[in-house]
Structure formats: structure tokens, C-alpha cells
Structure 1
Amino acid sequence: MAAESTPGPGIPESGSKSPHHRGRRPGRSTALRVTAWTAAGVVVLGGAGAGYVYVKLNGNIKSVDINQALGTDRPVKVDNGSENILVLGSDSRSGANKKLGGGVDDGSARSDTAMIVHVYEGHRKAAVVSIPRDTLVDRPECTDAKGGVHPAEADAMFNSAYSTGGATCAVKTVESVTGIRTDHYLEVDFSGFQKLVDELGGVTVTTTRAIDDPDSHLDLSAGTHKLNGDEALGLVRTRHGVGDGSDLGRIQLQQAFIKSLADQVKQLGVLADPTKLYGLADTATMAVTADSDLGSVNSLVGFAAGLKGISASHMTMVTMPVQYDPANPNRVLLDKAKAQLVWNAFKKDRPIPRTATRGTATGDAAGVVSN
């Protein structure tokens, strides 16, 4: 599999990688890029439960009022039936995530993974743009959910937006970079992802070559594997076991895994098993932080119901057009001209043109996990 999913009509081809190997310093662990319909799609199954179940699931969901914090100084919402969702994977260094991340319990939270999900009019297909955590951006001044103001910073790592000002600063930065209004926000944490995979009974993937990365505790031979939560987390965290050791290579693995996960959720038939149904809904709602418009079971149910028809075959997955930073092997730079092709396509609710990702950096982990 290339940096992007296999091209279909109107879907861009894979870009080409830098001709030289990029050495990387060990990075902090990263949460899985869980798509909006994967997390919320499980939640929708529990929407018709009894009163106790509803109250329990509703109490699980954390929310943040993005609109209140950001005010009116934002891109104009395009009223063409499409939606843009920012999905983050958070790796808080407290509680259960401390053990999974292997870090110090300093109470901090980071988002090392992020993607913009564009749901097209009619909600039958979607495009996903993964944002490399190491991309240098001009982070705008932003106000966090508690009213704290954080000054702008030039050439900041993209993932610093979340660690600086939380969800609202992450949304503000994405809107500044893209010029696109973020309609919804969903965040899924480390431990929640791990538990979700275990509740699903594992996820089956096929690796085309062996992956051995002691840093992420992953040792897989080439072939088909049914991964439990620990193993799945190791797969989406690994960066030294595949490709050029960069975050771009890790993105390729994550995109392939998400497709496998999304298809498996659709094939489970959990409605026939109330116990499993409740377990999945309970785990999914505890893992999710949403914007206030989605911060209830009813809202998530309605939102997810509109996404049920989007299967893996109708997902376009690309990496935001970037180039390796010649001044720093641990950073990438936004390819502004090619990225603008992506943002323009979203504004017009059109497919991403092939030229948008041709010749961009990829990370050289193509085809390690096949669909």
C-alpha cells in the first residue's frame, strides 16, 4: 500500500519519497488515527438502549465547546451538504495512558496524530487527509477552553497546537493552515483505542514483510495476523520498524489499519449480541471527546447514522502534501501549492486531484500492511 490508499476514480496516486533516507530521533508514542465513523459508528449501535444504558453512555462522553472558544473569526462554513471533521488521537501521559505510552505521569496531553475527514454531500464517500505531527506551521494565537490566551508561534510543530491549548487551539491551527471551517471535532485516546480493539475481538491484518520494532514492542512475521489491542497499538505506533523511520511511514501503516478496522466493524453483526453491543458502546463513548454539538449519545447517534454507508472502499486516504525539511531531518514542510489543491477540492466538495500528492514525501512504508 502506498502513502495513500489504492487510487480510484478521482483519487490521487501515491507521491514519491525523498531519494535519501531520513534518520529520526525516537518519538513519543502516538494514538491510532481513529476515523469519525469508526468511533461513532460503534456508538450508534447503543442508541436504542434502556434508560440506564442511555444515562451511562451519555455520562461517558466528554465534550468541549469549540464554537464558544473560537468565536466568529473563522473560515465561512460552506453550505453544500459536506462536512469537515478534525479527528485527533491523544496520548495523555496520565492514568491508563501512562503505562501504554511509557512516559512520565506529568498530567500532560499530546496529539501526535491528526486527520481531516471530509464527508461528501450525500454521505456515501469520504476523503481523509492525515497531517504529519512533525509538520512545521505558523501556529496562530488561540484561546483554550478555559479562556487562556496562547500567543502565535512561527515554525512550530503541528502537534504543539494541542499540547499548548488543547482541542480549540488544534482546531484554530487547522483552520489557519487550510482555510476550511471545521464542522466537528472528535478525539480518541490511547487506552480507549486499545480497549476498543479488544472488545471487537481483535483486528485482522496482513503484513507483506516482517516488522520488528522493540520501541513499540512489536514483532510480526510476514503474513496474516489477528491483532489484539496491545499489538494493534504497537502497529500504529511503530516508526523504526518500517520505511525510513519517519512519521510519514507510520501514517501509511495507520491508514491501512483504519481500513481494516472500519470494514471489520461493519461485518461484526453485533446487534445479535446485546452484551457485546453494550461493551462496544461503553468502550467507544469512554474513549471519545467531542465538540459540544456531538457531546451526547443522541447527537452521536444521529451523526453516526449519516456515516454508516461509508465503507473502506469509499474512503480516499492521503497524507497532507509535504516535503522533507532540508534544514532538519526530523521535520517536514507544507507543500503549500499542492496542499491548496486539496483544500480547494474540499471547499468545492470535489475529489482530490491526482496532482496534489504527486512528488510529495511519503515515508517509504508502502505495502507493508495490505488490505
Structure 2
Amino acid sequence: MSHTRVPADGRRPGGRRRARPRGRGGRVRRVVLPALLVAVLAAGGGAWGLYRGLEGNLKDGAVDLGAALGDEKNRPAREAAAGDALNLLLLGSDSRAGADAAPAGGRVDGARSDTALLVHIARGRTEAVAVSIPRDTLVTRPACTRPDGTELPPARRVMFNSVYALAGPACTVKTVERMSDVRVDHLVEVDFAGFKGIVDAIGGVTVRLDQPIASGLRLDAGEHRLDGEEALEFVRTRHGYGDGSDLGRIGLQQKFLGALLTEVKRQDLLGSPAKLYRIADRLTESLTTDSELASLSALADFGRSLEGIDPAAMDTIMLPVEYDRADPNRVVPAEPMASRLWEAIRTDAEIPESARRSPAAGAGPAGS
């Protein structure tokens, strides 16, 4: 993170209180896609003008959030105290795998979203926090319009990742706004086929496991060099590792990100225009965004606004959850921790330690 002078009261220029140092048990977790996105956009913001060939990679299918989400009075209001803070919903999906001919914004049948993070960029644009939402979380889905124009009625106690599968990314944004009362300013969706290409463009990533993975991708404890296909299996692994839950899968994603950022730093990828172009080429061809970001110039402007953020220092936590009493295979937001987390995001305040712990068995500290 950039070295800014912190006043004696511990508050940074953006109004956020300086995070307390953490020991090994409280290490900041990181999730794969948001930090890589921020890294490429921030590092490449000033150089996007050299990469005009990337414009053609941006596919049709941008999501018009204004039209999709309806009247402003039905959306969360912006908190005046938050200043220029903004919130980005980042989705990792398989909606484009092998389907370049289909607009991603309307490709819903059979598509899945395995990763969902609400990335809060703090006032002053020097700090960011990403909240990972477990896909097995039971939520209330609002009424939505599908990409094909048909209506989907509201429903209670549905799995969070089913919202994307049934109605696409705009309905996922609407559901997140409804569950959190946090305004979502932008949407970015990265397909997993593109994720594989990014890892291969880097030349692979080395991960270290403290316990084996015994299902699908079989890896012993120890160090392994993963190519794009193996990396994709790694971040999607659920069964055969830890307690076999979605919460364990999130832990693997966070472990992979640490290794990815280490590799980026080791190769100085973001300091080399040629290497950065190779990564950006893979990234842009796998992006779907909201309509306000759906051009190279808009992405460049957005990237320049993030230049003060160090992706390696991004604070990433998991939404506090607990196992559902009626269905122990599902989780629900744990109160009052979840509400405290959303309030901190909404008001651009320090996230309290009480909102960083997840009561669900095996989840451990949400920010560890």
C-alpha cells in the first residue's frame, strides 16, 4: 500500500482507521480475481493508450444496471460520508467458456458463478476490501427480469449462486443490494476460461499445500507448479479438501491468490509493458462489465483511479455465516456480524473485528 502519513488518531485520509497489525493467525486473506483485476487496471491505467488492439477484445453483452435494476428509489442510497468511495461486484463464472459467439450478458442457461465478491474501494482510492459471499448462502431473491425479457418472481431461502444461474448478473447485483443495503456502482464478470489463459500467460503459479487435495485435482501436501487448467481446478475444488464445504473452497482461492501475487512480483510482470499486454489481452477478452465500463477508455480511467491501491495489501474477508438450522448443508448470514460488516462498507468505516469472524464450523476467522 502506498506510504501515506497517518494522523495520530490512526485515521487515513479516506476516513478509514488504520488496520491493526495481525499475527500469523490473522493474516489478511486474498481472493484471486479482484486483486488481479485491480493490479492490471492500476498498473496499466497509464499505458492503455498503447494497447488499442485490446479494444476488440471487449465483447458485446455489457449490462445496463440502470435499466436492469429499475427506479432509483428502490436502490440503496449513497452515503454522503463515503465521498468518492465506490463498490464493485466481481463475479467469476463459466458463462463464456467455449461460447465466444454468444453475448455473455445474456448467456444464462447452464452457466454458473462460483465466485462473488463485493469489492469496496475506500474514499481516497488508496485502500480496498473485498467481501467474499459463499455460494451456498441462503438469500431472499428479489423479482428480476431475465436477459431474455421474462420475469422471475421473488423467492425466499434460495442459494446465492442460483440467482446467477437463473437470471444472470444483473439479478445477482440486485440480490446483493437487497441483502446488504449497499449500493453497487459497477459490475465486472470474468469467465474462468479467461482465468486459465491468464495463468498460462504468466507461465504458471507455484502453490504450497499444508494438506492434500484428494478429489478431482489430486495433489499431495507440499509445493506444486500449476498451469492454467490445474489452477482452475484448484480454485474450484470443494470436496476432498478440508471439511469439503464451500468455505474450504474459498480458503483455497485465497491461498492461490497469495501465490499468484508472489509470482507477479517475482517476474515483475506489471513493470514490463510487453508482459502486461499479454496478461491484459487475456483479461479483456474474458470480461463482461456494466455499460459504464464497457470500453477501453472507461477501463483506463477506472484503472487510473485505482493507482493508489496496492493489490497485495487488499483486505479480503468472508461474509460472516453460520450453518442453517433447517439445512446444515447451507449457510445463512450470521447476525449481528453480517449487519455490522455491511454497515461499515456502506459508511466507508473501519470493519470491526466482530464482523471478521464466521460462526460456521471450520470457517475460522473470516479475515484470517
Q: Please indicate the TM-score interval, normalised by the length of the shorter structure.
A: 0.7 to 0.9
Question: Relative to 1, partners in 2 of residues 1:87 and 1:143: Cα closer, same or farther, differing over 3 Å?
Answer: same
Contact 2:212–2:219 under 8 Å retained in 1 = yes
* TM-fit CA distance, 1:359: 5.1
- From 87, 90, 95, give the equivalent of 1:92: 95
Q: Alpha-carbon deviation of 1:149?
A: 2.1
Higher relative contact order (CA 8 A, sep 6+): 1
* 1:330 alignment partner, SS class: coil
What's 2:20 paired with? 9
Query: Superposition pairs for residues 1-371 of structure 1, below 5 Å?
Result: 8-9=19-20, 34-39=32-37, 41-42=39-40, 45=44, 47-49=48-50, 51=52, 53-57=53-57, 59-60=58-59, 62-71=61-70, 72=72, 73-79=74-80, 80-92=83-95, 95=98, 107-214=109-216, 218-265=217-264, 268-270=267-269, 275-358=274-357, 360-361=359-360, 363=362
Conserved in 2, the CA contact under 8 Å of 1:195 and 1:283?
Answer: yes
Root-mean-square deviation (Å): 3.1
Counterpart amino acid of residue 94 in structure 2: D
Distance 1:82 1:206, change over 3 A: same
Q: Which string of whole-angstrom CA distances, capped at 9 and with x for unpartnered residues, describes residues 258-296 of structure 1?
A: 233245435543467555443322210111111111111
Gapped regions of structure 1 (runs ≥ 5)? 1-6, 16-31, 98-104
For 2:341 and 2:119, the matched residues in 1 are separated by 12
Identify if the C-alpha distance between structure 1 residues 188 and 33 changes in structure 2 by more than 3 Å, giving closer, same or farther.
farther
The TM-score with structure 2 as length reference comes to 0.80
Identity over the aligned pairs, expressed in percent?
43
> What do the CA deviations read for 1:173-227 (whole angstroms, capped 9, x no partner)?
000000000011111111111111111111222222222223xxx2223233332
Q: Residue 306 of structure 1: CA displacement?
A: 2.5
Question: Aligned partners of 1:12, 1:133: CA distance in 2, in Å?
Answer: 29
Question: Contact (CA 8 Å) 2:32, 2:256: kept in 1 or not?
Answer: no
Query: Are the aligned partners of 1:87 and 1:114 in contact in 2 as well (CA < 8 Å)?
Result: yes
Deviates more, 1:343-352 or 1:171-180: 343-352
Structure 1 residue 154: deviation in Å? Answer: 0.8
Q: Cα distance 1:74–1:356, how it changes in 2: closer, same or farther (>3 A)?
A: same
- Letter in structure 2 aligned against 1:88: L
Q: Which string of whole-angstrom CA distances, capped at 9 and with x for unpartnered residues, describes residues 273-322 of structure 1?
A: 55544332221011111111111111112212232443355222211111
Change (3 A) 1:228 1:322: same
Q: Could you say what secondary structure the match of 1:63 adopts?
A: coil
- Deviation, structure 1 residue 133: 0.7
Unaligned runs of at least 5 residues, structure 2: 1-17, 101-106
- Aligned counterparts of 2:234 and 2:60: Cα–Cα separation in 1: 27
* Aligned-partner SS, 2:316: strand
Number of aligned residue pairs: give it: 333
Length-normalised TM-score, structure 1:
0.80
Judge conservation of contact 2:108–2:166 (CA < 8 Å) in 1: no
Alignment CA distance shift 1:70-1:354 (3 Å):
same
Shift of the 277–128 alpha-carbon distance from structure 1 to 2, 3 Å rule, reads closer
**Residues in 2 aligned to 1:163 and 1:63: alpha-carbon distance in whole angstroms:** 17
